[in-house]
Amino acid sequence: MTAFFVASLIGHKEIHLPQSLPAMQPTTPHTSVADYYYGVLSNLSADSKLDLISRLSQSLKQHQEPAYPSLESLFGAYKGEETAEELIADIRNSRVSTRDIEPL
């Protein structure tokens, strides 16, 4: 599965991996993600590594808009022309009650 991932990542149809892959160490808080991927990718050829570096660099240069607005953008004061009293009156006047109160 790792060979397929690496091959699709760097766009090569054929990839040469050693006969035996290094044993995967369990991830601990002291093991970084970079160390993990370095261990997986260290057996690639120099051309494959350079191609991967180029693609990663290009991905950093592309500006991507966030899929969702940031949480900070949802906070702040309301800005409008109405006064606080007018807003309160509008809210109270727009309330609708559909509850039927039956006499006892």
CA angle, 35 as apex, 30 and 53 as ends, to 5°?
150
Q: Indicate yes or no: pTM above 0.85.
A: no
Task: List all residues 6 or more positions away from 88 whose beta carbon is below 8 Å from its beta carbon.
Answer: none
The phi and psi torsions of 102 (rounded to 5 degrees) equal -95, 140
* Calpha distance 53→36 (Å, rounded): 16
Q: What is the pLDDT of residue 40?
A: 85
Per-residue pLDDT tens digits for 17-50 = 555 555 655 556 566 888 888 888 888 899 999 9
Where would I find the H helices in the chain?
2-10, 33-41, 46-61, 84-93
Look at residues 42, 7, 52, 45 and name the one whose alpha carbon lies nearest to residue 21: 42
Per-residue pLDDT tens digits for 57-69 = 988 888 777 777 7
